[in-house]
Structures are given as C-alpha cells and as structure tokens.
A = this chain, B = another copy of it.
C-alpha cells in the first residue's frame, strides 16, 4: 500500500523541516542516493556520503540543518534519521489490520480473541490463550495454551509461542521464531542425561522485536525475560532464565547462555557469545564475535574472546598481527 506522491511543501509540514526549493514539486517515493531518480526524494543522514549526494539524480534531499549545498531542493531537519523514518512511513504506511478469524484457523473454545484482532489462515490457538486488540497473527502461527498476546502485536508465519508464554504490546515476532521451547537442562545420573523439567515461562515486554528463526527458551523455573524495547535479530539464541534489561540490541547469530543478566541499553553485535550465570552491563557494547566469560562492568565497550576492553583488545590484535608479520618469530 503506497500513496502516489507528496509535494515538498506537504513533506516539510509533516516533517517540520525547512524547505529550500519549490513547495509544489511532487515526489513519488524515497530511495537511496545511488538509485533515486528525479521523481524521488533521497536522504543524507551521514555527512560521509556527501559526495554520493552531489552525484545523485534524486529530485530532493532530506538533510541535516548544516548539510552543504546539494544539486536539488533540500528539506533540512534537526533529526534527519528520525525524519527519514517518518518519510518512509508516509510512502509505505503499515497495512491496515482487517479484523476477524480466518475460517481455517483452529481456535480453542475457551481462548479469548479480541474482536479487533486478525487471526490468519491455518493458525492454531490453544486453550485459554488471550489475543489482544489489534493483534495480527499472519498465518500458520502456533499459539500454545495459556499464551497471552498484548495489543497491537504482529506475529509472522511459522512462529511458535509455547504454552504460557506472555507477549507484551506492539511486539513484532518474525517468521520461524520459537518462544518457550524447553531450556537445555540435564543432569547425568551415571548412565544417562536426565531431563531437568523446565517449568518456567517466557516474558516478552512491550515494544520488543524478535528476528526470524530466533529461539528464546522458557525458564527452568521463573521466567526468561526480554525487557521492553529490546531488538533481537535473526538466529539468536536466548537460553533459559536469561534477563535482558530494556532497550538492549542483540545482532544476528549471537547467543546468551542460561541465567545471564544483561543490563539496560546494552548492544551485542553479530555472532557474540555470552556464557551462563553472568552479570553484564548496563550500557555495555560488545564487538562482533566477542565471547564473554566473566562479569563485565557497564558503560564500556569490549571485544575479543575472551572479551576485554576494546582498546586493550585492539592492542592485542596489533601485537598478534606483528607476530605474523615477523613470520612467526616470537
């Protein structure tokens, strides 16, 4: 669903931008500097791309207040990155939710589905589950017994929400994610690994986004908790009883082991690993591929395996690099 176009004057109004150019000019879409054509508006949110902007064929530019001259009309915004989000949403408004339960969905008699929710084809909703207002379960979703899903949450196909999982409001769960599988707990009895029953839950707070094929296990007892506003990428593993504070970011293919707590506003880049029973952060930043094996104080950036403060890690990398440059003479 896209709109045909906006005048630059309309855009300046909506984005509270200062327009330098013809307010009646119409643009029909947003595109990056390299691919935008004369009917499209582009954006320069990072001054390093100024050369690309000068060569762009875009019909207009969204820029920061102090951006240098560009070959076309400009919309100057105090927070151009935020204005860009609004701009893209203008051209690509979210599809409206058509309420109703598809006739092929299988809904338990005692589940409660709000009349404003959409339950897509071939979705299963178990006994006692509660699906809130405006929720969208796209298709082929599994909602276990007793699951609760808050207002405005969107769940993509092939997601599995295990028994009793609780999901907050305005959460987005991408295809194939599994919430509430058993935590990985066994005790060797001398001849075999006996399963430790995993009887806890999963709590996803408001405004969380969870990537495709990511797994978040249920607690062994008590909950695994993803704090409000956390953003988790694809193929991430969150083990039982992990607690992520609010507004953490976990990039693809990272894993956090059991019972570790990560403080608010922390950022794990891609392919990071964190061992279990640790306390990390708040406001920690972990470089891609770093491996955390002990508690880390907050408000610091770390890298390496095992993870150490980033400047120390860079010295380590430089020293190793010199080793090889010397053909291995240690």
CB of A324 within 8 A of chain B? yes
Alpha-carbon distance A193/B250, docked complex (angstroms): 12
Choose among A157, A312, A322 the residue with the greatest number of B CB atoms under 10 Å from its CB: A157
| Residues of chain A from 193 to 233 with CB closer than 8 A to chain B in the complex | 193-197, 199, 207, 209, 211-213, 215, 217, 221-222, 229, 231, 233
Contact B257 A273 (CB under 8 A): no
Given A178-B213, A308-B324, A321-B316, A187:B252 Cβ within 8 A:
no
Stretch in A3-11, A13-21, A62-70, A83-91 touching the partner: A83-91
Q: What's the dominant secondary structure at chain A's contact region?
A: loop
| Residues of chain A from 138 to 186 with CB closer than 8 A to chain B in the complex | 138-140, 142, 156-158, 160, 162, 172, 174-176, 178, 181-182, 184, 186
Tell me how far the C-beta of A149 lies from the nearest C-beta in chain B, rounded to whole angstroms: 16
Given A124-B139, A196-B85, A270-B255, A323:B320 Cβ within 8 A:
yes
Tell me how far the C-beta of A57 lies from the nearest C-beta in chain B, rounded to whole angstroms: 15
Alpha-carbon distance A324/B313, docked complex (angstroms): 7
- Residues in B with CB closer than 8 Å to A81 are 187
Contact B160 A160 (CB under 8 A): no
Contact A92 B197 (CB under 8 A): yes
CB of A52 within 8 A of chain B? no
Contact B162 A175 (CB under 8 A): yes
- Residues in B with CB closer than 8 Å to A234 are 178, 181, 184, 215, 217, 237
In this complex, how many residues of chain A approach chain B with their Cβ under 8 Å: the count is 99
Choose among A140, A195, A217 the residue with the greatest number of B CB atoms under 10 Å from its CB: A140
Interface string of A119-140 (1 = CB under 8 A from B): 0111010000000000000111
Contact A251 B328 (CB under 8 A): no
**Residues of chain A whose beta carbon lies under 8 Å from any beta carbon of chain B:** 30-32, 35, 79, 81-82, 84-85, 88-89, 91-92, 102, 104, 106, 120-122, 124, 138-140, 142, 156-158, 160, 162, 172, 174-176, 178, 181-182, 184, 186-187, 189, 192-197, 199, 207, 209, 211-213, 215, 217, 221-222, 229, 231, 233-235, 237, 239, 247, 249, 251-253, 255, 257, 270-271, 273, 275, 288-289, 291, 293, 305-306, 308, 312-313, 315-330
